[in-house]
């Protein structure tokens, strides 16, 4: 099998295992047979195994396949990528600080506040931004498949999670979905939500900036290549 084919295989395995195991039909039957906690353990093991295989395969075959685009020398693109990655890290941290009702362990009655007014799925949006940013900088076919895995799974996962949580939590989550948005800023733009000074995620911004600086410094040693150029 070609390197690109191997990356594609594990990408499909990672995405497919998520969608199959978490699908309502499969999930209900597994939970009924083995219980909620064992189900989550099985789900996590499969996800970890397929993701690990995907990462290892990609690590051995970076920049494989046809070069579809090369944007690394375009300064505005590099700045766009950095802005995207900084925003992704801030969103990821903000989502951990202020979890959505769809998140495991979060209160199902949680009102939209802070980053949730911007998007009800900050973690998914963060991984979408991560994937897109790296696709811009890595135009080889194998790289596009690897990094494209994260936006694809995040978009499908967010939509799937909304449907599942509406079934589980009923009107409480339907109301949350009705007044918020998956697409960043859509609820604010439409007037369903209103941003206030209290909603600014200052802690997440500070942590995101520090994390970005650390990633810039560590990137050549951990992943190869300097993000600075």
Provide φ and ψ at 104, rounded to 5°. -55, 125
Distance between CA atoms of residues 118 and 13, nearest Å: 31
Nearest to 167 by CA among 44, 27, 15: 27
Q: What per-residue confidence (pLDDT) applies to 85?
A: 93
pLDDT tens, position by position, 131-159 = 999 999 999 999 999 999 999 999 999 99
CA–CA separation, 164 vs 31, rounded Å?
Answer: 14
Measured in residues, the chain has a length of 229
Q: What is the pTM of this model?
A: 0.87
CA 141, CA 137: separation in Å to the nearest integer? Answer: 12
Query: Given a cut of 80, is residue 50 above it in pLDDT?
Result: yes
Strand runs labelled E in 77-194: none
pLDDT in tens, 60-111: 999 999 999 999 889 899 899 989 999 999 999 998 988 777 665 455 555 6
């Amino acid at each position: 099998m070609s390197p690109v084919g191997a990356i594609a295989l594990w990408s499909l395995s990672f995405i497919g295992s998520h969608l199959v195991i978490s699908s309502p039909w499969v999930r209900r039957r597994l939970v009924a047979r083995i219980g909620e906690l064992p189900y989550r353990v099985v789900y996590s093991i499969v996800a970890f195994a397929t993701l690990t295989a995907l990462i290892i395969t990609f690590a051995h075959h970076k920049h494989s396949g046809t070069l579809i685009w090369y944007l690394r020398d375009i300064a505005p693109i590099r700045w766009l990528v950095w802005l995207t990655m900084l925003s992704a890290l801030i969103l990821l941290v903000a989502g951990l600080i202020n979890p959505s009702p769809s998140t495991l362990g979060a209160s199902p009655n949680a009102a939209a506040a802070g980053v949730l007014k911007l998007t009800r799925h900050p973690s998914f949006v963060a991984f979408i931004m991560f994937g897109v940013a790296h696709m811009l900088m890595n135009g080889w076919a194998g790289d596009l498949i690897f990094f494209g895995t994260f936006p694809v799974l995040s978009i499908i996962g967010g939509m799937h999670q909304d449907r599942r949580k509406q079934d589980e939590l009923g009107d409480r989550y339907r109301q949350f979905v009705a007044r918020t948005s998956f697409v960043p800023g859509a609820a604010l733009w439409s007037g369903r939500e209103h941003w206030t000074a209290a909603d600014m995620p200052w802690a997440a911004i500070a942590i995101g900036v520090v994390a970005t600086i650390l990633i810039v410094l560590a990137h050549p040693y951990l992943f190869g290549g300097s993000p600075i150029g």
